[in-house]
Amino acid sequence: MKRRRQFFLYIFVISRFLLSTLGSSAHADDGVALHGFSDMKFIYDSKDDSGSFSIGDVDFFLAKPIDKNVNFLIEMAFQPAYDGVSVDLERSFVQYVVDPWLKVSVGRFHTSLGYWNDTYHHGGYLQTPITRPVMERFEDSQGLLPAHTTGIEVRGNGLMDGSNLGYIVNVGNGRGPVKDPPAFYYSYNKTHSFSLLLYDELPNGIRFGPNFYMSGLPGGFQKDGLGVNDPTNPGVSGREVIYGAHFIYNSPEVEFLTEYANIHHDFNNGDADPDGATSTNMDTLYTQFGYHFGLFTPYVRYEVNATDHPDAYLKQLTQTVRYYTAGCRYELTASSALKFEYVYANYIGGNHDWNSALDWAFTW
């Protein structure tokens, strides 16, 4: 009952907020840009041997210039699940623009971990395929990377010798006792998280660059299936270091994306992996290729998520898994697209499963 009341309170507050925003946006000089994304899909999963209809996240995205140098952005998502609907504040930050080379933001934003996480955000319509690569999924969707950071972001970019050079620096709350939810309003670590992304965009559509992330892993209680701290299930403590790089090529015909990340965990005494290891080393990679034929974009993607031990923190990565994805996107209208996708997962040791999906994604 408490959860139901909380949900309706969310609905009331957000509805009042959106109505007041929409009302004020009728004035041409208000500067409000309200956007949204959602999708509807049908999924067939070989593990269940059945098909299901599914409503995707309903994502509201609002950006408002406060004055000449200050911008505000908020992104909220209604996320259907097995037990109802949850509401997540995905991004919320205020930004001060000194010049193109120096923009300072404070709030919650996407961590600078490469290309995908900083480009496609939460609107499925923005990306060519239906699904995100496993390494790029969000924390509540079994993702491997810390996709969100609450803290300070400094970024900038500009032309230099014919190419667009850019950087993004994040300093914020580190990882929590569990990876989801991210540390929203409290830093569990004595040291904060730090991330750095550098990139170079060339005039021919090529972009590349490295990235680095570091955070502590605090001890504490894991949560049980109801989201309550469980004293019988202690968390792990230690350190997380991530190195990565991306290479992107976009042209009117070709879309090529590849990203790599090495995730290394060192655990303190008493917080070892299930098999006794005091550290875990994971390599994750995806390579995606698409070709535009008019309104059609067929695409393929290969992913590998490898680990030398079952990880005590990222508990879902217990063995090496390879994913093979193929699909096609059709631009139905200027603001909606139909997508079909097939995903085959091959687990080390010979186990495998597959699923297929038909998706109608749109924006407004």
Upper half-sphere CA count for residue 24 (Cβ side, 13 Å) = 13
Which distant-in-sequence residues (6+ apart) come within 8 Å of 117 by Cβ?
A: 110, 111, 136, 145, 147
Q: How far is 191 from 215, CA to CA, in rounded Å?
A: 7
Which distant-in-sequence residues (6+ apart) come within 8 Å of 246 by Cβ?
A: 114, 115, 116, 199, 207, 208, 209, 211, 257, 258, 259, 260
Phi, psi of 12 (to 5 degrees): -65, -50
pLDDT for position 27 = 45
Judge whether 281 and 241 are in contact, CB under 8 Å.
no
pLDDT for position 331 = 98
Q: Point out the residues of the chain with pLDDT beneath 50.
A: 1-9, 11-13, 17-19, 21-29, 226
206-224 burial: b if 16+ Cβ within 10 Å, else e: ebbbebbbbbbbbeeebbe
C-beta neighbour count of 180 within 10 angstroms: 15
Judge whether 93 and 150 are in contact, CB under 8 Å.
no
Q: How far is 149 from 233, CA to CA, in rounded Å?
A: 25
pLDDT for position 300 = 98
pLDDT for position 326 = 98
* Entry pTM: 0.85
- State which CATH number among 2.60.40.3140, 3.40.220.10, 3.40.710.10, 2.40.160.10 fits the domain covering 31-363: 2.40.160.10
Q: How far is 116 from 110, CA to CA, in rounded Å?
A: 10
pLDDT for position 232 = 53
Strand bridging mode 238-250 / 336-347: unpaired
pLDDT for position 233 = 54
- Going from N- to C-terminal start, the domains of the chain cover 31-363
pLDDT for position 28 = 43
Q: How far is 5 from 28, CA to CA, in rounded Å?
A: 37
